[in-house]
Amino acid sequence: MKKTSGTDRTVTRHWRPATRAVRGGTWRSEHGETSEALFLTSGYTYDDAATVAARFAGEADGMTYSRLQNPTVAMLEERIALLEGAEACRVQASGMAAMTAALLCQVSAGDHVVAARAAFGSCRWLVDHLLPRFGVETTVIDSAVDGEWDAAIRPNTKVFFFETPANPTLDVVDLGYVCDLAKARGIVTVVDNAFASPALQRPMEYGADVVAYSATKLMDGQGRVLAGAVCGSQQFVDDVLLPFQRNTGPNLSPFNAWVVLKGLETLAMRAKAQSVSALEIGKLVEPRVARILHPGLPSHPRHELAVRQMPDGTGPIFAFEVPGGREQAFAVLDALQLVDISNNIGDSRSLMCHPASTTHAGLSAEARTEMGVTEGLLRINIGLEDVADIAEDLDQALSAAGL
Ligand SMILES: *Cc1c(COP(=O)(O)O)cnc(C)c1O
């Protein structure tokens, strides 16, 4: 396999973001293919026994088994690291595989984790149920109140874990404040950046240690595959994450890696265009509903911070609350003609869901109330359709539901 400048770090680290998104990480085989090759292989062959022995001993570069290395997967890892501004990245089979690996690779019984209460349902499950089963203490806080982070720290606090903006209530965390606090106290920050993507927000610029993704969302962006990613320093990835990942095997398939590589080529354009439409639609929806949770609107409690942390757009997703509870929320969903009822986000299609009965149905009613996931809450992902068509559909659906 011929390496081209796509993996020559001295060259690619100087490329501007748009160039990194299209060319970063590309390796070309002896055929000189234009688009990245898809290596659907689980294993590798060797010219002689000494070669494979050297590779297993770590004395020679080269592939040995696709749970450990795969050329297509390696291209994606290098491209995501370049977009994130991270020293290294490893990809996983889904966003949840990424979050699980990012936490379990570094905590042990007796450690303490502080996590944001507003979070994707399965992320909350890791914090509320999985970690405590293995003797890891957890504390859940209101991540948008800076003082709660400080107050939750114990002598054994190892990790801060949060999303910003958070699913589904769009809580915004002050990245600079929380990362500085963590650094001063020797705590590792793990940021789930799925709602923003590296096109809109790069938490490492604020000092985040680990940035983790559901690449299923904006990175694929076309609703095709599940994928996840964990970015960090070379030392974290090599010494902390890799021993866990190589031995537990939450690997991403080369095919799915290839699909996400293609998605990254258009990520910035999609994320920015969808953010513009989401702001326009948010402004139309705001006067019609009881409450809107949109980081791009001045009514958001941390609007100024959100715009500072995401200057190129606050993302395609927002939530709003209808006064008539579940019945009225379902009436809005059932009246939609263009926007699909779907719980996915980051897709190029506009999608709407009722978090209390779908993404957050697995949580206790108390946990939902505490997070602000009310019965009248609806979450929408604004896609790449003509914004006038999305506006017309929402107008008629809100009217049909009596709003
Ligand atoms: C979707 C999502 C996840 C989980 O990702 P999967 O790819 O569905 O496993 C984790 N965190 C956030 C914020 C998400 O939106």
Each residue's pLDDT tens digit, 94-133: 999 999 999 999 999 999 999 999 999 899 999 999 999 9
% of the chain residues with pLDDT over 90: 91
Helix intervals (H) in 266-324: 267-285, 303-309
- 319 lies in the same domain as 188: no
Lowest mean pLDDT segment, chosen from 111-115, 127-131, 337-341, 357-361: 357-361
Q: How far is the CA of 96 from the centre of ligand 1 (A)?
A: 6
- 45 lies in the same domain as 194: yes
Quick check: CB of 194 below 6 Å from ligand 1?
A: yes
Residue that terminates a domain, selected from 264, 296, 316: 264
SS3 189: strand
Mutate to test the pocket of ligand 1, among 162, 164, 167, 260 (most ligand atoms within 8 A of CB): 167
Per the structure, the complete domain to which residue 365 belongs is given by 268-400
Name the pLDDT band for 6 (thresholds 50, 70, 90). Answer: low
Q: How far is the CA of 120 from the centre of ligand 1 (A)?
A: 7
Provide the 10 A C-beta neighbour count for residue 40: 12
Quick check: CB of 217 below 6 Å from ligand 1?
A: yes
- Report the pLDDT averaged over residues 138-160: 97
Mutate to test the pocket of ligand 1, among 120, 219, 359 (most ligand atoms within 8 A of CB): 120
- 155 lies in the same domain as 301: no
Does residue 17 contact residue 268 with C-beta atoms inside 8 Å?
A: yes
Does residue 342 contact residue 350 with C-beta atoms inside 8 Å?
A: no
- 186 lies in the same domain as 329: no
Quick check: CB of 218 below 6 Å from ligand 1?
A: no
SS3 13: coil
% of the chain residues with pLDDT over 70: 98
> Strand pairing partners for 147?
none
- 139 lies in the same domain as 10: yes
Short-list 119, 103, 127, CA closest to 169: 119
Quick check: CB of 123 below 6 Å from ligand 1?
A: yes
**Token pair 């973001």: residue:** 17
Short-list 237, 241, 240, 276, CA closest to 383: 276
Atom of ligand 1 nearest to the CA of 167: 13
- 88 lies in the same domain as 110: yes
Q: Whose CA is nearest to atom 8 of ligand 1?
A: 95
Each residue's pLDDT tens digit, 169-197: 999 999 999 999 999 999 999 999 999 99
Q: Whose CA is nearest to atom 11 of ligand 1?
A: 120
User: What pLDDT sits at residue 5?
Assistant: 52
What's phi and psi for 17, nearest 5 deg? -55, -40
| Residues 379, 377: Cα–Cα separation, whole Å | 7
- Report the pLDDT averaged over residues 297-319: 98
- 81 lies in the same domain as 153: yes
Q: Whose CA is nearest to atom 6 of ligand 1?
A: 95
| Residues 69, 223: Cα–Cα separation, whole Å | 26
Q: How far is the CA of 240 from the centre of ligand 1 (A)?
A: 22
Q: In what order do the strands lie in the sheet with 228-232?
A: 88-92, 228-232, 210-214, 188-192, 157-163, 112-116, 137-141
Short-list 88, 72, 69, CA closest to 80: 88
User: What pLDDT sits at residue 4?
Assistant: 54
Q: In what order do the strands lie in the sheet with 351-353?
A: 291-293, 317-321, 377-381, 351-353, 340-341
Residue that terminates a domain, selected from 264, 294, 314: 264
Quick check: CB of 163 below 6 Å from ligand 1?
A: yes
The number of distinct structural domains making up the chain is: 2
Mutate to test the pocket of ligand 1, among 91, 195, 214, 344 (most ligand atoms within 8 A of CB): 214
| Residues 209, 190: Cα–Cα separation, whole Å | 6
Quick check: CB of 216 below 6 Å from ligand 1?
A: yes
What's phi and psi for 369, nearest 5 deg? -60, -45
Task: Inform me whether the pLDDT recorded for 303 exceeds 80.
Answer: yes
Quick check: CB of 169 below 6 Å from ligand 1?
A: no
User: What pLDDT sits at residue 127?
Assistant: 97
Per the structure block, which two tokens stand in for 338? 């263009």
Lowest mean pLDDT segment, chosen from 136-140, 349-353, 357-361: 357-361
Residue 396 maps to which CATH number? 3.90.1150.10
Task: Inform me whether the pLDDT recorded for 65 exceeds 70.
Answer: yes
Mutate to test the pocket of ligand 1, among 127, 216, 224 (most ligand atoms within 8 A of CB): 216
Q: Whose CA is nearest to atom 7 of ligand 1?
A: 95
- 190 lies in the same domain as 293: no
How high does pLDDT run on average in the chain? 95
CA geometry: angle 201, 206, 212, nearest 5 deg: 55
Q: How far is the CA of 215 from the centre of ligand 1 (A)?
A: 8
- 230 lies in the same domain as 340: no
Q: How far is the CA of 32 from the centre of ligand 1 (A)?
A: 35
Q: How far is the CA of 19 from the centre of ligand 1 (A)?
A: 27
Does residue 167 contact residue 195 with C-beta atoms inside 8 Å?
A: yes
- Report the pLDDT averaged over residues 16-45: 93
| Residues 48, 62: Cα–Cα separation, whole Å | 13
Task: Inform me whether the pLDDT recorded for 10 exceeds 80.
Answer: no
Name the pLDDT band for 7 (thresholds 50, 70, 90). Answer: low
Each residue's pLDDT tens digit, 232-291: 999 999 999 999 999 999 999 999 999 999 999 999 999 999 999 999 999 999 999 999
- 307 lies in the same domain as 259: no
Residue 55 maps to which CATH number? 3.40.640.10
- 58 lies in the same domain as 150: yes
- 337 lies in the same domain as 195: no
Q: How far is the CA of 188 from the centre of ligand 1 (A)?
A: 21
User: What pLDDT sits at residue 9?
Assistant: 75
Residue that terminates a domain, selected from 264, 294, 313: 264
| Burial letters 337-359, b for 16+ CB under 10 A, else e | ebbbeebebbbbbbbbbbbbeeb
Q: How far is the CA of 149 from the centre of ligand 1 (A)?
A: 23
Q: Whose CA is nearest to atom 4 of ligand 1?
A: 95
Per the structure block, which two tokens stand in for 290? 């009881």
Annotate 347-397 with three-state secondary structure: CCCCEEECHHHCCCCCCCHHHHHHHCCCCCEEEEECCCCCHHHHHHHHHHH
